Amino acid sequence: MRIVVIGAGPAGVTVAETVRQYDKEAEVFLFTTEPFPPYAPPAIVDYFLTGQETHLWKGTDFPERLGLEWRPNTRVNDVRPETKEIVTAAGEVIGYDKLVIASGSRLYAPVEGAENPGVYNFKSLTAAQELLDKVKAKVAKSALIVGAGFIGVEIALLLAEMGLEVTQIEALDRVMPRMLDPETAEMALGVLQERGVDVQLNTEATAFLGEEQVEAVELESGETLTADLIIAATGVKPHIEFLEGSGVKTDWGVIVDDYLLTNIPDIYAAGDVAEAKDRITGERYVHAIFPNAVAQGQVAAYNLLGFSVPYEGADDMNSLKHLGLPIVAVGTMEADDVLRVRRGEALRKVYLKDGQIVGFRLAGDLSAAGVLRSLLIRRSNVQPIKDKLLEPNFGVGYIYSVSQSAELAI
């Protein structure tokens, strides 16, 4: 059997690893547009902060160890389901028995001029390297980051730590607006400011200015801001352009069923590129996070091997590692009841709908995260223990009593 995997990010790599656990003979082609061996994007910031590579690579010998047909620097330009072939940018045609689309996501910057030279991003190791080469060569003293989402905040902290003067603009009224409620966002903002980042909220970029080289950002107010480095951190979008005309059904991402199969037999999709069902709502959505990419890579591999394993659903969660103040955000904030407690620097907010936890936001003290998530996944009725959810030792001392509680459908 020949398995072709488009993408060597966490999803594609997990497909290859999982296949090898069960099948030593299958031919596995692994494609990436990057020159590097497989790496973990969440470790990029640490890598540049500390120089430590331990958590970055899957092992530079990964392709040989797994006996893969390893294709770095190779873009797949076309998928032809009728003949079961893919075509690379260089025109090479390769047949497949099973195909996995794991092409991840790219920067999404719906702002005029975003494609022009001089707009940096942090969406891949290649992009991050290009940006940080400038910082290390000391040709840049200041940076302007457009967007204060999760990745934008990580970049701001990294560049501030590296000694740059950092300005960050955000169109909405708080940092990490999709992930955080106003109160937790305010705490994160405080830390960013303490680290020297000049955050400007309610400030929307309308254009990147400069044809040959972008040197400034135009704001909705008509004002312009400039810096030595201009970085777009405005969101991500599934990499699906090369699927145009292939017949693979896409919307925002590639549409998959409960087995991560696309509308075409023998073609699966996994990771940031896949619009898979949400664990809680059951609706299709792209939750572009590492654990979902890994879980989907596993499930896609099981199914192409013929094990028929349904995907449990994607989680909506994120955590901030480099802020100094630990923060974790899980699930939705759309609720009919919000439980809240603040003790000093620790904030806990739990979002309930019909007596079930649908989300939570923790700052400072994350010890309750594991139990809260477990209750959320199990859709337990927490109405009888509502007040306990806010106790400081919930998640530590309460684990036993909660899991034993007769009222809970755990």
Q: Cα-Cα-Cα-Cα dihedral of 113, 41, 271, 102, to 10°?
A: 80
Among 3, 4, 68, 76, binds ligand FAD (CB under 6 A): 76
Nearer to ligand FAD, 178 or 343 (CB): 178
With binding defined as CB under 6 A, does residue 42 bind ligand FAD?
Answer: yes
**75 binds ligand FAD, rule: CB under 6 A:** yes
CA–CA distance, 353 with 359 (Å, rounded to integer): 9
382 is a contact residue toward ligand FAD (CB under 6 A): no
Site for ligand FAD in 259-278 (CB under 6 A): 271-273
Identity of the residue numbered 36:
F
Among 58, 123, 277, 349, binds ligand FAD (CB under 6 A): 123
User: Is the CB of residue 165 less than 8 Å from the CB of residue 140?
Assistant: no
Q: How many angstroms separate the CA atoms of 316 and 313, rounded?
A: 10
| Choice between 35 and 384, CB closer to ligand FAD | 35
Contact 174, 261 (CB under 8 A): no
Query: Which of 33-61 are b and which e, b meaning 16 or more Cβ less than 10 Å from the residue's Cβ?
Result: bbebbbbbbbbbbbbbeeeeeeebbbeee
DSSP percent split of the chain into helix, strand, coil, nearest 5: 25, 30, 45
Count of residues engaged in binding ligand FAD, rule: CB under 6 A: 35
CA distances from 351 to 160, 161, 287, 329 (A): 34, 34, 19, 11
Told to check if 379 binds ligand FAD by CB under 6 A, we report: no
Q: Is 41 in the site for ligand FAD (CB under 6 A)?
A: yes
- Please give the C-alpha separations between residue 410 and each of 24, 316, 404, in angstroms, as whole numbers: 39, 21, 9
Query: What minimum distance in Å lies between the beta carbon of 210 and ligand FAD?
Result: 25
| Segment near ligand FAD (CB under 6 A); pick from 205-213, 286-294, 332-340, 383-391 | 286-294
Using CB under 6 A, pick the residue from 29, 31, 96, 208 that binds ligand FAD.
31
Residue 6 is a binding residue for ligand FAD (CB under 6 A): yes
* 18, 48, 70, 103: which one binds ligand FAD (CB under 6 A): 103
For helices 290-304 and 10-22, what crossing angle results, to 10°? 40
- 9 is a site residue for ligand FAD (CB under 6 A): yes
Structure tokens at 345: 């620097």
Q: Which stretch binds ligand FAD (CB under 6 A): 103-111, 184-192, 330-338, 353-361?
A: 103-111
Q: Which residues contribute to the site for ligand FAD (CB under 6 A)?
A: 6-12, 31-34, 41-42, 44-45, 75-76, 102-105, 122-123, 151, 154, 239, 242, 271-273, 288-291, 293
